[in-house]
Structure 1
Amino acid sequence: MANDLQRRDNFFDDMMNMRDLFNDNFFPAMKTNYMKSDVTESDKGYQVKIDMPGFDKKDIHVNYANGMLTVSGHRETFDDDANKNGEVIQSERRYGQMSRSYRLPNVDLEKVNAKYNDGVLELDLPKISEKANGSHIEIQ
């Protein structure tokens, strides 16, 4: 059995080494720091949904500046006591810092809405209205 486990372990290591020979775009599903997202746009604004399973809401940071939305998250190490005998065949869960940026111009920061539920971060980013985008400034 130990020999079978060793062969399986080598298989996964070999696959990851093969991935390193190519650009990350060749095997995008195997990227470990990739936050999968859907971004839609309407006349009124943008809607962004980002898969971030396993993150605590307090460890997710959203920032908008100069037309760029940046979402980052930090996940601490896993304290999994389920198997202390060293019988783990493969471990793919990751921890550390993840970040993703999106170019979304003309967002009205005062009306942005964000919620995190069931591992999905949902952002509603309304666009600046035509009235708020005018250049006339009253002098008092």
Structure 2
Amino acid sequence: MLLPSIFGERLFDDFMDFPFRGKMENQMMKTDIKDAGDHFELMMDMPGFKKEDVKAQLKDGMLTIEANTSTANDEKDENGRYIRRERFTGSCSRSFYVGENVTQEDIKAKFEDGILKICVPKVENKPQIEENKYIAIEG
């Protein structure tokens, strides 16, 4: 039996109180990027995560933000019997190209109130100087 459309897609979400169900996965790690003159500011929404759940890594010019979480909802009645028991473990990540010349020490990050703020300096790519290599001709 199909449910009427007045219930929408999230009929049981409030009942189950499950944080990462369905389309919620697409809502995670939404990022705003702002050009602040000499640097870029990335503000990433990470509700429900704690600072220790989040890791940032810079490798080959790619800044990767990873977050892992685990939740358990155990509800028991007065006799100690389970009424509901749900568990969730999940992870998500996003990567941004910041340039080969940016170093780990250049990037500043702060996690506060479910928002990860990252400052990445603008570093100009140094043009590679072509070296003229001549072969000596004898004679």
TM-score band w.r.t. shorter chain:
0.5 to 0.7
Distance 1:125 1:82 in 2: 47
Say which structure is richer in helix. Answer: 1
When the two structures are aligned, how many residues end up with a matched partner? 110
Cα offset, 1:82, TM superposition: 8.2
Task: Structure 2: state its 5+ residue gaps.
Answer: 12-21, 130-139
Q: Which residue of 1 aligns with 2:25?
A: 32
Say which structure is richer in strand. Answer: 2
Q: Which has the larger radius of gyration?
A: 2
In percent, how many aligned pairs have the same letter? Answer: 29
Question: 3-state SS of the aligned residue for 1:79?
Answer: strand
Change (3 A) 1:80 1:103: farther
Cα offset, 1:103, TM superposition: 1.9
Q: Which residue of 2 aligns with 1:68?
A: 62
Could you tell me whether the CA contact under 8 Å between 2:40 and 2:119 is conserved in 1?
yes
Letter in 2 for 1:119: G
Could you tell me whether the CA contact under 8 Å between 1:108 and 1:127 is conserved in 2?
no
Could you tell me whether the CA contact under 8 Å between 2:70 and 2:88 is conserved in 1?
no
RMSD: 3.8
Alignment of 1:54-93 (within 5 A): 54-81=48-75, 85-86=83-84
Could you list the per-position Cα deviations for residues 72-113 of structure 1 after superposition, in whole angstroms to 9, with x for gaps in the alignment?
A: 100012335388534xxxx9x964111111122243432211
Change (3 A) 1:48 1:11: closer
Change (3 A) 1:40 1:61: same
Alignment of 1:33-52 (within 5 A): 34-52=28-46
TM-score with structure 1 setting the length: 0.59
TM-score with structure 2 setting the length: 0.59
Higher relative contact order (CA closer than 8 Å, sequence separation 6+): 1
* Runs of 4+ residues deviating >4 angstroms: 133-136
Question: 3-state SS of the aligned residue for 1:78?
Answer: strand
Letter in 1 for 2:44: I
